[in-house]
Structure 1
Amino acid sequence: MPQEGRPVFRAVERSKVYSAVADQILAGVRSGAFPPGSPLPAERVLAERFEVGRGSVREAIRVLEHAGVLDVRVGSGTYVVGDGGSEENVLRARAAVAGEHSPLDLIVARASLEPVCAEHAATARTSNDLRVLEDLVLQQERVIREGGDPSTVDADFHLAVAAASHNSVLFALERTLVDLMRERMWSELKDRSRSRENQAEHYLEHHRQVFRAIERRDHRRARQLMAVHMSEIETGLLSELGSSQEEGPAERP
């Protein structure tokens, strides 16, 4: 219990400091205040300008380097990468600051795995697998018709396709990806993409087609259809990303 007259202190979240620094550097890169190939001010100078500790600046630079925005050259300084201000790199940096994974990195992983799951499901599925998949398609149709959020049943369908492959490693990998799809940045971007006119119905039709190919044991078609589905999800995410990144001009720190 705090003694009377003494202030109550709360721990300051360090992540909030370095994330604010990272956001300002990103804004400077995107606005052209830090052009491609140009050096950032020295760490000490940035710490003074931002009025933060050098540790926070160092952590912000580390995150932005990992995201492909900055290039730290030992003995030379820190430079803006040529395409460091691209939508993909900015999203990756913001996801890292938030402790999440970039939605675009997630779709790349899904596009690598899920067509393989569909291909193997078409050759290994059982009658029970087909019942589960068909029921999920019907559930998704009902949710969309009633104006609900189909994200959960959508993810369940993809997990069921992996389960139908009867390959425990594929299923474990898909389960990890489904868990990552619960992260805030993925959920928000995908929800905006799905809310576009007829987009939810369009994704539902993809699921119907994948199900039918699996039902017919057409493994080549199942793989192809799932690959098309992943490609169109990526296109939708990129479209939403382009429309949501509206930065005002940033002052040079």
Structure 2
Amino acid sequence: MTSSFPSAKPQKGSDIVLEQLKKRIESGEYSPGYRLPSVVDLASGFNVGRSTIREALSALKAMGWLDIRHGEGTFVSDVLPSAEVQPESAGFFHSKESFQEILEIRKYIESGCASLASMRRTAEDLEQLQMTLNLMQEVLEDEKASEAADVQFHQLIARASHNSLFIQMMDSLTKRMQESMGDSRRLWFFSELASGQQLLEEHTGIFEAIRDHDETLASARMMQHLVKVESVLGKMMPPRETR
């Protein structure tokens, strides 16, 4: 009689890179403030593709081990995560299930908001949305200010729907949106090599559909915007188990 064992899945290349880099930080080889080699050099050193390196760096950034600065490089965080509260790297993305759930909710709530906003928006709604887009352009290089403007843009679309329940749902999600927004932006920027300018263009496309009373396009562009983030997360996280 043979014993049954759980299936052993091969470790992802990005997980291996993540663990090796994390060990170098923990050992002090890469000390706080140390600038890591470029993505190209790391890919050559680990003998993996650049996308694998970007996935590992994105994960370490989200976990608090790295600070990725646009145009400057990747640095070890000045303040490292506490070992007592830091999840094991192999299981890190399992703890991101709540992030995935927030994205699932946002997809369906916000595509509906965009659809209604395209039919009900007022001149004042459009003015506020345009002002927020202008602000997003001004603060492209300021991570915190950019995230805040991003959240504001999505909340304004809910308000432009003039549906009190949509507005209440979006307001209740504000704190979690602010937490997930930072993660989702980092995942998109560093896993897809996207930029703040590209993200602004997506928001502008949503705004234009709302401005033009194009209900179908507004909903589709909002859904596409959020599905893109979800697809990046899916590459970096094991599939959720269903019962």
Q: What secondary structure does 1:35 align onto?
A: coil
- Give the partner amino acid of 2:183: L
Report sequence identity in percent: 27
Q: Please, what TM-score do these two structures have when normalized by structure 2?
A: 0.55
The answer as to whether partners of 1:137 and 1:157 remain within 8 angstroms in 2 is yes
> Which one of 179, 186, 190 corresponds to residue 192 of structure 1?
186
For 1:163 and 1:90, locate their aligned partners in 2 and report how far apart those are by CA, in whole Å.
35
Is residue 154 from structure 1 mapped to residue 136 from structure 2 by the alignment? no
Change in Cα spacing, 1:187 to 1:206, as seen in structure 2 (3 Å) is closer
How far 1:148 sits from its partner (Å)?
3.6
Q: What secondary structure does 1:181 align onto?
A: helix
Residues 198-244 of structure 1, C-alpha deviations (whole Å, 9 max, x = no match): 332222111101101111111111011111111112123334547xx
CA RMSD of aligned residues (A): 2.6
- Give the partner amino acid of 2:187: S
Q: Please, what TM-score do these two structures have when normalized by structure 1?
A: 0.53
For 1:129 and 1:224, locate their aligned partners in 2 and report how far apart those are by CA, in whole Å.
20
Residues 29-75 of structure 1, C-alpha deviations (whole Å, 9 max, x = no match): xxxxx726xxxxxxxxxxxxxxxxxxxxxxxxxxxxxxxxxxxxxxx
Is residue 173 from structure 1 mapped to residue 173 from structure 2 by the alignment? no
How far 1:104 sits from its partner (Å)?
0.4
For 1:228 and 1:172, locate their aligned partners in 2 and report how far apart those are by CA, in whole Å.
23
Q: What secondary structure does 1:182 align onto?
A: helix
How far 1:187 sits from its partner (Å)?
5.1
For 1:155 and 1:187, locate their aligned partners in 2 and report how far apart those are by CA, in whole Å.
7
Unpaired stretches in structure 1, ≥5 consecutive residues: 1-33, 37-86, 96-100, 243-253
For 1:188 and 1:221, locate their aligned partners in 2 and report how far apart those are by CA, in whole Å.
26
Equivalenced residues, count: 150
- Give the partner amino acid of 2:220: Q
Q: Who is 2:206 aligned against?
A: 210
Q: Who is 1:114 aligned against?
A: 110
Q: What secondary structure does 1:102 align onto?
A: helix
Q: Who is 2:229 aligned against?
A: 233
Structure index of larger Rg: 1
- Give the partner amino acid of 1:207: H
Residues 72-106 of structure 1, C-alpha deviations (whole Å, 9 max, x = no match): xxxxxxxxxxxxxxx9x9745x36xxxxx711010
Q: Who is 1:63 aligned against?
A: none
